[in-house]
Copies of this chain bind each other. A is one copy, B any other.
Amino acid sequence: MVADMNRPIRVTIWNEFLHEQTEEHVRGIYPEGIHGRLAQGLDGRGPFEIRCATLHDPEQGLAAAVLDETDVLVWWGHRAHAQVGDEAVLRVRDRVWAGMGLVALHSAHFSKIFIRLLGTPCTLRHRVAAEREMLWVVDPHHPIARGVPDRIVIEQEEMYGEPFAIPSPDEIIFLASFAGGEVFRAGCTWRRGAGRIFYFQPGHETYPIYHHADILQVIANGIQWAAHRI
């Protein structure tokens, strides 16, 4: 799992791809899907070779052949967690154990794969709201914080608050506050077998958060870290 440092990192962006098809407002923000936007926004921010996969692909986009060519899997899911089959979940879990990186975004906290790898309920406090989030770097010397400002302001985001029922993270890199006063461990890492996991909270589908350069930079750093490159 120590990759050849000179070849590109093979990134697969997996998206359930539902909101963008059924909600006009979301489609307006992400006309090519959240996966399409991420692919575009991450391009050039690291030595990446990016492909996309969605729930609507064969084997839910998580076929062995896809995972075979994946160094880091980026995951966005929300409404369809239950539709991801247990077999696919175990396939992903086994790849992470074998060294594949996982970058879990936003409501991926409630995906089967995240809960399976962390072993906790992964519940959190939650409010449907359009409120200002401030994201603070807590560990400025961590590679995932490179080139990221001390503070990122997101004008509108859904509120995610503590207690977040996760195992004690190996590293906490970002903490967030929301206009309502809530706080959240918004950027955390864990190791599972040979694989590295990075969870990053921003990204509710109804706000243009993946158009924000600093957010993309964090995700790009997270991918490189999860690939054992930084």
Residues of A within 8 A of B (CB): 1-2, 97, 99, 116-121, 132, 134, 136-141, 143, 146, 150-151, 153, 161-165, 167-168, 170-172, 175-178, 181-183, 185, 190-194, 228
A168:B182 contact, CB within 8 angstroms: no
Which residue of B136, B143, B150, B168 is within 8 Å of A170 (Cβ)?
B168
Q: Could you name 24 residue pairs across A and B whose Cβ atoms are closer than 8 Å?
A: A1-B141, A2-B146, A97-B120, A97-B121, A97-B165, A117-B119, A119-B119, A119-B167, A120-B193, A136-B161, A136-B162, A138-B163, A138-B183, A139-B163, A141-B191, A150-B163, A162-B175, A165-B193, A167-B167, A175-B175, A175-B183, A176-B183, A177-B182, A183-B183
B167:A177 contact, CB within 8 angstroms: no
B228:A132 contact, CB within 8 angstroms: no
B116:A119 contact, CB within 8 angstroms: yes
A93–B207 alpha-carbon span in the complex (Å): 35
Distance to closest chain B CB from A182 (angstroms)? 7
Distance to closest chain B CB from A192 (angstroms)? 5
Chain B residues, Cβ within 8 Å of A143: 228
Chain B residues, Cβ within 8 Å of A168: 170-171, 191
Which residue of B121, B132, B146, B192 is within 8 Å of A120 (Cβ)?
B192
- Nearest residue (CB) in B for A151 is B181
- Nearest residue (CB) in B for A175 is B183
